[in-house]
Chains A and B, each alone.
Chain A
Amino acid sequence: MRTLTAASRGLGLRPEFVDALLDSPAVHGLDFLEVAPENWMQIGGRKRDQLDRIADRYPLVAHGLSLSVADTEPLSTAFVRDVARFLDDYGIALYSDHLSAARDGTGYLYDLLPVPRRAENLPYLAGRIAQVQDITGRQLVLENISAYHRYPGEMPEGAFLAELALRSGCGILLDINNAYVNACNHGTDAGAFLRALPSDAIVYYHIAGHLKLADGFLLDTHGTPVADAVLDLARDTLALHGPRPLLLERDNFVPELGALLQDLGRIATAIDEGRHVLA
């Protein structure tokens, strides 16, 4: 197992820059890479070969999309076992996914869907997290999603996540952009969300860009540079909870690796030094 430090900086591994990573020795300023386990496990050929070589050069963390831990159907234990095998094969200690669901009573929908945040749902969700942690032999780390739907009368997101972490022992992957997007779209207070979270449960941070639609609504697209306002919120986050490994997500309009690393460095510096960068 490989461990990260609070100063570690990482990128989500994208096919767009796999070849560039493999063409050079380990890149300065890139401390770890994040992979979606389901996009690599039980897959052979060129992708497997590439991942094997990348794993020789960089520490990996796993960030899934397909766990659907918060859905209301029986957990796909076969899938979780496959994930566990993948984590073991690559010596990955840190496994995260999203506090969301991707399946209803009909079947999988293949998106990160919000579930109702109600106190009476917490024991069920804590039980689901326990199932995953039992199978993987690891703490499950859960990310706050960008949710474009709210159920009436829900608990505040921060309080819900904090209570779930307390009951289940799960970690929190704090996505700072998602916190900003939700606050803007739903008219809530991002600061209150941050203050509700227990510092000791926060394992690492995500930061990303979003798209502002004509009507002002924000979409979490991971396709633009990180906004100044999100950097401001990141500084508040670090002041409140302290430094953690930081990962830049860029999944659309992915620039060249060099430009992406420059962005990552600038973001880290801006957060650390408290000055604005990036338009």
Chain B
Amino acid sequence: MSLPDPVAPPAMVAEFNSFCMAARANGSGLYGQLLRENVADALRSSFPLFTDRVGSAALDAEIDAFLLRHSGTRPQFHHIATEFVLFSQRQGLAAPELTALLEYEWALLAAEIDPATVPPPATTMDDIALNPTTRLVLLAFDPAQPSAAVDGVDRPHAIFRTADHQVLTLPLTLPDCLVIEHVREVEAAPLATLFDALAPDCSAVELQTSAARGLACGLFCPPPNTLGDSK
């Protein structure tokens, strides 16, 4: 049982909040500048494509709005990036294609640091599971050329981290999506059962191709209960 929360003296609350509000509102004061530089540094480091595309004036305006209006709830300094994405989504600050780019880069970051242990690939297996770091996203741009013009068509992609710590973005076909959906639902599935379940929707060749490709790149992996304990 934790000790009870002490209550801050009202004068301390008023004095400190007044100082903070000035820093939030005034970008020309020293602490106002430091707060803005911290956020800008975190965004440039986490979202290089977004910050490059949005331009410095718009980025400054978004950071001003973030500091004035957002209630950050995560203590960790490195969660500035996550808090900014949440704020941007709620406020609709950026154009839809820029928000999509921001969300894509956030998914890359989230897969990179996801605490899950990724099993090493197996050459033969009866059961398959979805890589535990997988994020499924719809992208209206080619992630290999994110600066190229968008065509407005959302295409499904999987973003995940491999056992050797590479973060991959994989375009998904319809059979891929069906296999992923089924594997997620049942958590782990024997390949034969999987193929039987999806036979009405896809041909055996399509399913085998999808499973083989997913296994080769690490999107699918052995289920956790087939592995030994890890730290």
Binding site for B on A (CB under 8 A): 38-39, 42-49, 52, 65-68, 71-72, 74-77, 79, 101-111, 113-116, 118, 120-121, 123-124, 127-128, 130-131, 134-135, 148-149, 151
Q: In the complex the two chains form, is A115's CB within 8 Å of B23's CB? A: no
* B228 interfacial contact with A, CB 8 Å: no
Asked, given contacts A110-B35, A110-B39, whether A38 binds B113 with beta carbons under 8 Å apart, the answer is no
Residue of B nearest to A134 (CB): B3
Which residues of the partner chain A approach B74 to less than 8 Å between Cβ atoms?
108
B80, A110: Cβ atoms under 8 Å?
A: yes
Which of B2, B19, B161 sits near A113, CB closer than 8 Å?
Answer: B19
Chain B residue with minimal CB distance to A152? B15
* Chain A neighbourhood of B7, CB < 8 A: 124
Shortest distance between the CB of B196 and any CB in chain A (Å): 34
B3, B24, B42: the one contacting A106 at CB < 8 Å is B24
Nearest chain B residue, comparing its CB with the CB of A66? B75
> How near does chain B come to A70, taking the closest CB pair, in angstroms?
8
Cross-interface CB contact of A45 among B2, B21, B71, B114, cutoff 8 Å = B114
A146→B183 CA distance, assembly (Å): 53
Q: List 23 A-B contacts (CB under 8 A).
A: A38-B75, A38-B76, A43-B113, A43-B115, A45-B113, A49-B165, A67-B75, A74-B5, A79-B76, A101-B16, A103-B75, A104-B16, A105-B13, A105-B20, A106-B20, A107-B73, A108-B74, A110-B72, A111-B34, A115-B16, A120-B9, A124-B6, A134-B2
The docked-state distance in angstroms from the alpha carbon of A101 to that of B75 is 11
CA distance A121 to B8 in the complex (A): 7
Contact A131 B2 (CB under 8 A): yes
Check B16–A46 contact: CB distance below 8 A: no
Partner of B77, one of A38, A48, A75, A101: A38
Q: Which of B2, B72, B78 contacts A135 (CB 8 A)?
A: B2
CA distance A75 to B4 in the complex (A): 10
| Chain B positions 28 through 70: 1 when the CB is less than 8 Å from some CB of chain A, otherwise 0 | 0011001100110010000000000000000000000001001
B19–A109 CB distance below 8 A: no
* Given the contacts A108-B72, A124-B12, A66 and B115 also touching, CB distance less than 8 Å: no
From B31, B83, B115, give the contact of A48 (CB < 8 A). B115
What is the bound-complex CA distance between A18 and B124, given in angstroms? 35
Check if B209 is an interface residue, CB within 8 A of chain A.
no
Q: Which of A109, A118, A149 is packed against the most chain B CB atoms within 10 Å? A: A109
Residues of B within 8 A of A74 (CB): 5
Take A118-B12, A127-B6 as given contacts and tell me if A111 and B17 are in contact as well, using a CB distance cutoff of 8 Å: no
Interface flag for B11 (CB, 8 Å): yes
Cβ of B90 < 8 Å from any Cβ of A? no
Docked complex Cα distance between A39 and B81 (Å): 13
Given the complex, which residues of B lie within 8 Å of A111, measured CB to CB? 31, 34-35, 38
The interface bits of chain B over 129-147 (1 if a CB of A lies within 8 angstroms of the residue's CB, else 0) are 0000100000000000000
**Which chain A positions have C-beta within 8 A of B39?**
110
Q: Return chain B residues, CB-CB under 8 Å to A114.
A: 19
CA A61 to CA B182, docked complex, whole Å: 45
Q: Which residues of the partner chain A approach B112 to less than 8 Å between Cβ atoms? A: 45-46
Chain A residues positioned under 8 Å from B5 (CB to CB): 74-75, 131
A45 touches B77 (CB 8 A): no
Is B117 among interface residues, defined by CB-CB distance under 8 A? yes
Q: How far is the CB of A2 from chain B (nearest CB, A)?
A: 18
Report A-chain residues with C-beta under 8 Å of the C-beta of B114: 44-45
CA distance A269 to B188 in the complex (A): 60
**B169 vs chain A, min Cβ distance (A):** 16
A107 touches B38 (CB 8 A): no
Do B77 and A72 touch across chains, with their CB atoms under 8 A apart? no
A116 to chain B, nearest CB (A): 5
Contact of B17 among A47, A72, A75 (CB under 8 A): A72
* Known A-B contacts A131-B3, A131-B5; A110 and B71 likewise in contact (beta carbons under 8 Å): no
